[in-house]
Amino acid sequence: MSFSTMLSTMAVGMLRTCAIFFLTLLGSLPLGLGIMLLRRSGNRFVSRLTQVFIAIIRGTPLMLQLLVWYFGPYYLFGVNIKGWRFPAILVAFIVNYAAYFAEIYRGGVESISIGQYEAAQVLGYSRSQTFMKIILPQVVKRILPSITNEFITLVKDTSMAFTLAYQEIFSLAKQISASQTSFMPFVIAGVFYFIANYAVAYAMEGCEKALSYYN
Amino acid sequence: MILEMNNIRKSFDSLEVLKDISLSVDSGEVVSIIGPSGSGKSTLLRCATLLEQVDGGEIRYLGRAACTEENGAPRYASPSELKELRRAFGLVFQSFNLFPHYSVLKNVMEAPMLVQKRNKEEVRATAMGLLEKMGLESKCDAYPCQLSGGQQQRVAIARALCLKPEILFFDEPTSALDPELTGEVLKVIKQLAEENMTMVIVTHEMPFARAVSDRVIFMDGGVIVEQGEPEEVFGNPRQERTKQFLRNYEP
């Protein structure tokens, strides 16, 4: 197999990796916000339950969670979910990352001084206006470095879709390497991950700069 | 009466901070509240501005009840009624509490547009007029972090005034400022007093309180110890506790 054939075969895998990455963010960034609001709920039961949920998600390997989401429905309920491989992968990633994002958001929200809430209240802002216009924009700025960390981890974590035999770049590299007895697929995969993360870091740095107009 | 507070009681856990305090403020009146730290002056302001819930007593703005007492327990008006009543007052904080991600102009303009649904052009004109009065028209595009403390506090005053409150509360507006910056903020408050803005000012600036107020209230231990015209309270205090307190401020 020539280098260019190898590269073009693996290009499909790169696209699938990117699909997992972007769709996971699309789902987990907003879901994390919802989980954070539940975690901060005034209802003790709701907040406690959310805390347990976050503990479970953070306390077990993502690889195990992938297996649970894919095989769980069959073993637990006898439901056949053949053909739902990709959705199962997305659910596992989205739920996992949302739990981490929720805790990052919470740290950000709790770092905003009480004076900001009080000023908004006296000026007549409603609770949702206060959150959306005053609190959230300041939170975003404060949590960007932590969010960048998560993004970079996610780029590399996509390789865990390998567990469910999803043909993203890591699975393909392993397969082609075995069939062609070549080391090159791993190099290609490595370079791909590195460039992808470089791009993520560059884009996030741009975001941080864009928000650096105030302190 | 713009503000009436009757028999206000407030405790934090077992600590009684306000013991049956009553305070009425008439239209155009400037009232200063002085007293040692922990005397309850800030808590009184926070109860008046609905940032703290009282344990008992009545609060009325323009005769409309924000809080009444029933069988010894406070009963606050409905959220929609409270929202309406909040329009009656503004508050200037010790720590300014400007919104750091908004420009000066947006800090002043957003609440009138968002909360009072006023026309953007009218709000802009009002806001620019207020900033001009504060000597800050050239700073309208700056962000709070680019301003001195005194400038930030003047923006906070403009932000409160842009909502056209009937009464403006100041919670130690100059305590976070050095003497030079204190002067520029006090000057602005004095100017408002001359324009007959109704104000209640919690302050440690005795000469200022004496010069600007129609009435001075001395609080200690959660009660009003003495009140009256500034010349009486400062010049000829009747209570021993007041004399003792004011002695600390003698040059």
Q: How far is A214 from chain B (nearest CA, A)?
A: 6
Residues of A in contact with B173 (CB under 8 A): none
Dist. CA A124–CA A130, nearest whole Å = 9
| pLDDT at residue B251 tops 80 | no
Residues of A in contact with B50 (CB under 8 A): 121
Q: How far is B110 from chain A (nearest CA, A)?
A: 10
Per-residue pLDDT of B198-211, as tens digits, reads 999 999 999 999 99
Residues of B in contact with A123 (CB under 8 A): 111, 115, 159-160, 163
Q: Closest to A214 (Cβ–Cβ): which among B91, B115, B145?
A: B145
CA dihedral (A140, A141, A146, A152) in degrees, to 10, reads 80
Residues of B in contact with A128 (CB under 8 A): none
3-state secondary structure A144-196: HHHHHHHHHHHHHHHHHHHHHCCCCHHHHHHHHHHHHCCCHHHHHHHHHHHHH
Give DSSP secondary structure letters for chain B.
--EEEEEEEEEETTEEEEEEEEEEE-TT-EEEEE--TTSSHHHHHHHHTTSS--SEEEEEETTEEEEEEETTEEEEPPHHHHHHHHTTEEEE-TT----TTS-HHHHHHHHHHHTS---HHHHHHHHHHHHHHTT-GGGTTS-GGGS-HHHHHHHHHHHHHTT--SEEEEESTTTTS-HHHHHHHHHHHHHHHHTT-EEEEE-S-HHHHHHH-SEEEEEETTEEEEEE-HIIIIIS--SHHHHHHHHTT--
pLDDT of residue A102: 97
Q: What is the pLDDT along chain A (215 residues), one digit of tens a residue?
A: 788 888 888 999 999 999 999 999 999 999 999 999 999 998 999 999 999 999 999 999 999 999 999 998 888 888 877 788 999 999 999 999 999 999 999 999 999 999 999 999 999 999 999 999 999 999 999 999 999 999 999 999 999 999 998 999 999 999 999 998 999 999 999 999 999 999 999 999 999 999 998 87
pTM of the shown model: 0.88
pLDDT of residue A76: 87
Give yes or no for A128 touching B (CB within 8 A): no
CB pairs under 8 A between A and B: 56
Question: Is A118 close to B99, i.e. CB distance below 8 A?
Answer: no
Closest CA to B224 of B24, B57, B3, B23: B23
Q: Closest to B91 (Cβ–Cβ): which among A122, A141, A213?
A: A122
Question: Is B111 close to A214, i.e. CB distance below 8 A?
Answer: no
Q: Closest to A123 (Cβ–Cβ): which among B100, B101, B163?
A: B163
